[in-house]
Chain A
Amino acid sequence: GQSLEQPSEVTAVEGAIVQINCTYQTSGFYGLSWYQQHDGGAPTFLSYNALDGLEETGRFSSFLSRSDSYGYLLLQELQMKDSASYFCAVRSGTGFQKLVFGTGTRLLVSP
């Protein structure tokens, strides 16, 4: 089976940098994704890593180490609107089509 562990909550102030970690256990690996979900909203795709290293998309970056079964999402220049839940997810199942999500990290950004 698959399991993904994330911290339950992270707090930071506007303008700061925060890192959200994800460790995973999978029977097969086909990439690590990150999704953002605001309260009452739909999960939205942020980033994807299939290979080791850092992927940068604007203020957000994601890192993967396959040998450590570990990844993180780095959010820079935090803004109030970044307050949301962040989920890491791995692909699994028949044809690796379904996503298995972690329990999520709630990020609270304060002024």
Chain B
Amino acid sequence: DTGVSQDPRHKITKRGQNVTFRCDPISEHNRLYWYRQTLGQGPEFLTYFQNEAQLEKSRLLSDRFSAERPKGSFSTLEIQRTEQGDSAMYLCASSIDRRGPITQYFGPGTRLTVL
């Protein structure tokens, strides 16, 4: 399978704990995005990378959230001191620079439940 993969698929944690999610994009894709989705809503943008550079961060991304893409390949999203409001599906997507429409390919997501 050469699609976007995410790990873990599900994470249950207690409030106040730290969690880290991993995303492996499609191999030739240089852009990587993180979104958060809650039930009944569309995905909300969190941040995106072009290669290893983090080019934009949403105001949704509080100082408890940090994302990295150290070698321009996989990316990690860490949430520190989790809160119940962080419970959501965290989606990763990737795309490649090209002329014309830029299609984002989404991974299956990591569902976070904070107890």
Give the interface of A toward B (CB within 8 A): 31, 33, 41-45, 48, 50, 87, 89, 91, 93-95, 97-104
Contact B108 A42 (CB under 8 A): yes
Other-chain residue from B41, B48, B104 in contact with A45 (beta carbon distance below 8 A): B104
Give the interface of B toward A (CB within 8 A): 4, 31, 33, 35, 40-45, 48, 50, 55-56, 58, 91, 93, 101-109
In the assembled complex, 27 residue pairs joining A and B whose CB atoms fall closer than 8 Å, in A order, are A33-B101, A42-B4, A42-B109, A43-B93, A43-B106, A44-B106, A45-B103, A45-B104, A45-B105, A50-B101, A87-B43, A89-B42, A91-B102, A93-B56, A94-B55, A95-B55, A97-B48, A97-B55, A97-B56, A98-B45, A98-B48, A98-B58, A99-B43, A99-B104, A101-B43, A103-B41, A104-B40
Other-chain residue from B41, B45, B48, B93 in contact with A100 (beta carbon distance below 8 A): B45
The listed residue with most A CB atoms (<10 A of its CB), out of B4, B104, B106, is: B104
Contact A94 B56 (CB under 8 A): yes
Give the residue name and chain of the B residue nearest to A4 (CB). Answer: B42
A106-B108 Cα distance, complex, nearest whole Å: 19
Contact B33 A101 (CB under 8 A): no
Tell me how far the C-beta of B113 lies from the nearest C-beta in chain A, rounded to whole angstroms: 14
Contact B42 A48 (CB under 8 A): no
A104 touching B42 in the complex, CB below 8 Å, given contacts A97-B31, A98-B33:
yes
Contact A87 B42 (CB under 8 A): yes
Contact B56 A31 (CB under 8 A): no
Closest 9 pairs (CB-CB, A-B): A101-B42, A42-B106, A48-B101, A98-B45, A94-B56, A45-B103, A43-B106, A87-B42, A42-B108
Other-chain residue from B4, B104, B108 in contact with A41 (beta carbon distance below 8 A): B108
Give the residue name and chain of the B residue nearest to A47 (CB). Answer: B101
Tell me how far the C-beta of A110 lies from the nearest C-beta in chain B, rounded to whole angstroms: 21
Kindly list chain A residues whose C-beta atoms are within 8 Å of the C-beta of B44: 101
Contact A102 B102 (CB under 8 A): no
Contact B102 A104 (CB under 8 A): no
